[in-house]
Amino acid sequence: MHRDDALPKTTFPYFFREAARRMWVSKRTSFVAVAMIAISLFIVGAFLLVAENLGRAVAQAGGKSRVNIYLTTDATQQQIASVDGWLAAHHDFAARRFISKEIALTRFRTYFANLSDVVGQLDENPFPASFECEIAPAVAQSPAFAQQAKELRAIAGIDEVQFDWEWVEKLKKLINLVNLAGIIAGGVLAIAAAFTIANVIRLTMLLYREEIDIMRLVGATERMIRGPFLIEGILQGFIGAAVAIALLFAAFLAGRNFLAPRYSLLWSFLFNGFLPWRKLLALLAGGTLAGFLGSWLSVRESGEERV
Amino acid sequence: MTPVIHFYHVTKRFDQYSTALHDVTFHIEKGEFVFLTGASGAGKSTLLKLILRQMQPSDGQVVVNGRNLKSMKRSQLPFFRREIGMVFQDFKLIERMTVFENLSFILTVLGIPPREHKKRAYGALRAVSLHHKLNAYPLQLSGGEQQRIAIARALINEPLVIVADEPTGNLDPDLTQEIVQIFAEANLRGSTVLIATHDRELIEQSGRRVITLDHGRITDEKVATPPRAPRVESIFGIGG
């Protein structure tokens, strides 16, 4: 390393000043680069947000395992008493609660308020009565419990036995799928955004070609010449990511305020909470990295003075 | 004496039909003030470009400030160029920057703290009598003023070597006198000066060493004999 190869401290403010000035001078091209990053990260962020909230729903259900025992619509009081007796006799099912047809209908009207009218038009209550049993998660996975569940299904008056952890497992698979889709879509878009930034920086470098030649002739190092371009890419990436987060937050607030109450249960799951700060930082870092890679590609390709 | 610029059998060919310099050998000692002259196309600009290593010789060696430019690493090139104050024929000022910013940029390259920029830029501009143009843009200045800004930029770091390509080409006789005086003062402070010029009158009256190029060859190398004239006396302080 040459004795003077290290950049003087005073050059870093110069890098930022120059990068900001060049972005301002080339507003339109900079806007395209920032918009590309913002769109890419908004999509990635949307996937992350959905996965995050589904994850929260799973976490809420994760501590308990529930079995729903739906009775046939024509189940007699004797059959209901028989089922209740069987549950009381089996320790694992003892923590039970009877949900009458009326309670089931009330719950539906609460969760799906917009469909309440539809139900009202029916001649009779279509919801079956059921028992809800809280099962210890460790017990729910045991072979003995599976045997008991088989016995339960055979009891007269029982239409269906549903296990909560089955849909929790399905939800977990869905979360993995959403995360994967987000990573793939985000990755592809981030690469496209990085190339957009690379092209923007390349255009800027062409615009400043004469100036770059002068800088070289008066003794500016390649680092000094390339620094502002690298910072320009980094700034574009960072601003794009910040815009994406702001847009995502605005969309989240709008969704929570306008969609969640109207469509109740499903939407309230998806708008339960915003992304945690770690994921927000990751989005910012991702945008900044895409910007850096794009500008690095450009300045690397631009080469050095040919002598 | 130590040669600061040394050309040793230097040939520069662009292609098989075009040779800018043929087997050029000369040297310039430390502290010398030398004129390089010749008609258009004689090879003056090529020779200056070789000194700044804007190009490499096809054959021969160029040594500047003790560095053999052929073997010098690319990474050392910027630091080498900082030792040379180059005044370009087309000024090479950055048009979007003010006069101050043009000078400040050089100081940034040199690692001078920003708080000193104004003072040093003002001093350099005062030397070329353009300190009142600190905030002007190059395109708002005349050709002569731009030339003087380019000179101020070249001198701002008190370089070891000053190389100027037609520095008085855009100036009237009075300004020519003033500019050459600036170079002479830099020379007195220890800088070695090489000026490429067409100005025969200036050369003849200088009393300095003159290297004449013709079709890429050195055809003459002598010390100009100045006639006794007021202009020469005022510029170089020579004569009776």
Q: Which residues of B touch A5 (CB under 8 A)?
A: 75
Global confidence as pTM? 0.71
| Low-confidence residues of chain B: pLDDT under 50 | 238-240
So what's the pLDDT on residue B230?
A: 54
CA distance linking residue B117 with residue B131, whole number of Å = 13
For residues A196 and A33, the answer to whether their CB atoms sit within 8 Å is yes
| Amino acid letter, B201 | E
Q: Name the band, by pLDDT with cuts 50, 70 and 90, for residue A137.
A: low
DSSP state of B39: S
pLDDT tens digits for range A166-225: 777 777 788 888 888 888 887 888 888 888 888 888 888 888 888 888 889 988 888 888
Give the one of A13, A222, A224 whose C-beta lies nearest to B109's C-beta. Answer: A224
CA distance linking residue A148 with residue A239, whole number of Å = 59
Q: Which residues of B touch A8 (CB under 8 A)?
A: 108, 111
CA distance linking residue A244 with residue A290, whole number of Å = 14
DSSP states of A123-163: SS--PPPEEEEEE-HHHHTSHHHHHHHHHHHTSTTEEEEEE
Alpha carbon distances (Å) from A92 to A65, A162, A167: 11, 15, 20
Q: Which of A102-116, A144-158, B19-33 has the highest average model confidence (pLDDT)?
A: B19-33
Mean pLDDT over all residues of chain A? 82
Report chain A residues touching chain B, CB-CB < 8 A.
2, 4-5, 8, 10-11, 13-14, 211, 213-222, 224, 304-305, 307
Of the residues B70, B109, B118, B157, the best mutation for testing chain A's interface (the one with the most A CB atoms within 10 Å of its CB) is B109
Give the one of B53, B74, B80 whose C-beta lies nearest to A304's C-beta. Answer: B74
Helix axes A11-25, A222-254, angle to 10 degrees: 60
For residues B143 and B170, the answer to whether their CB atoms sit within 8 Å is yes
CA distance linking residue B177 with residue A45, whole number of Å = 69
CB contact under 8 A, A2 and B54: no
Q: Which residues of A touch B82 (CB under 8 A)?
A: 218-219
Q: Report the phi/psi class of residue A79: left, alpha or beta, with left for phi > 0 and alpha for psi in -120 to 50.
A: alpha
CB contact under 8 A, A10 and B153: no
H-helix segments, A208-276: 209-217, 222-254, 260-270
Phi, psi of B113, rounded to the nearest 5 degrees:
-60, 140
Q: Which helix (H) or strand (E) holds A108?
A: helix A101-111
Q: Which residues of B touch A13 (CB under 8 A)?
A: 114
Indicate whether A115 pLDDT > 80. Answer: no
Distance of alpha carbon A109 from its chain centroid, rounded? 29
pLDDT tens digits for range A219-259: 888 888 899 999 999 999 999 999 999 999 999 988 888 77
CA distance linking residue A107 with residue A273, whole number of Å = 23
Q: Environment class of residue A143 by beta-carbon count within 10 Å: exposed (0-12), middle (13-18) or buried (19+)?
A: exposed
Report chain B residues touching chain A, CB-CB < 8 A.
52-56, 74-82, 86, 88, 92-94, 96, 105-106, 108-114, 153
Average pLDDT for A1-7? 48
In Å, how far is B225's CA from the nearest CA of chain A? Answer: 35
Of the residues A217, A218, A307, the best mutation for testing chain B's interface (the one with the most B CB atoms within 10 Å of its CB) is A218
SS3 assignment, position A257: helix
Give the range among A7-11, A158-162, B49-53, B63-67 with minimum mean pLDDT. A7-11
Q: Which residues of B touch A2 (CB under 8 A)?
A: 75-76, 79
CB contact under 8 A, A218 and B153: yes
Q: Which residues of A touch B138 (CB under 8 A)?
A: none
CA distance linking residue A214 with residue B91, whole number of Å = 10
SS3 assignment, position B166: coil
Q: Which helix (H) or strand (E) holds B180?
A: helix B173-188
Query: How long a stretch of residues is chain B?
Result: 240
Q: Which residues of A touch B106 (CB under 8 A)?
A: 218-219
SS3 assignment, position B162: strand
